[in-house]
Structure 1
Amino acid sequence: MFDTATIALLRAVLDQVCESVLGGQIGARTHVASKILETGGEVSRERLRQIGRDALSHAPTMWR
């Protein structure tokens, strides 16, 4: 379980990475979120952003 500060960080990074994703494309956002959560508690904002960007760039085309 994550503490409230970590949850806020994860949410902020997810929102930032997915700001260019159209609102109806839940699949891409879900994909990015799952990859960020796979970090197992990584709390470096820049590292989380990089993981999110990588996930978004490797998401299936229909999700971008």
Structure 2
Amino acid sequence: MPDAEITVLLEAVLDDVRAGTPPWDTTTRERVAVRLRAVAREDHCSLEDLERARRDALTRAPTAM
């Protein structure tokens, strides 16, 4: 998928995340962004893949680093 398409998809998913999380919850927003970046770097990336990554990042508890 061309970079421009992925960018548009990422922006749409991130808009949903921003709308659904308080501005001060940067931990959640960062966790989702990291997961979305990982998925976007894969060879085959679709809106469904990004949405699944968003849901996973929002529902799974963060792990200690």
What is the RMSD computed on CA atoms of the aligned residues? Answer: 1.9
Structure (1 or 2) with the greater helix fraction: 2
| From 41, 48, 51, the counterpart of 1:49 | 51
Deviation at 1:33, TM superposition (A): 0.8
In structure 2, what is the Cα distance between the partners aligned to 1:18 and 1:59?
18
In structure 2, what is the Cα distance between the partners aligned to 1:24 and 1:17?
13
Structure 2 stretches lacking a partner, 5+ long: none
Q: What SS is found at the alignment partner of 2:21?
A: coil
- Tell me which residue corresponds to 1:14: 14
Larger Rg: 2
Structure 1 stretches lacking a partner, 5+ long: none
Q: What SS is found at the alignment partner of 2:29?
A: helix
CA contact (8 A) 1:17 1:49 kept: no
Percent identity of paired positions between Structure 1 and Structure 2? 34
Q: Deviations over 1:2-26 (max 9, x none)?
A: 7222112112112224422111111
CA contact (8 A) 1:13 1:48 kept: yes
- The size of the alignment, in residue pairs, is 59
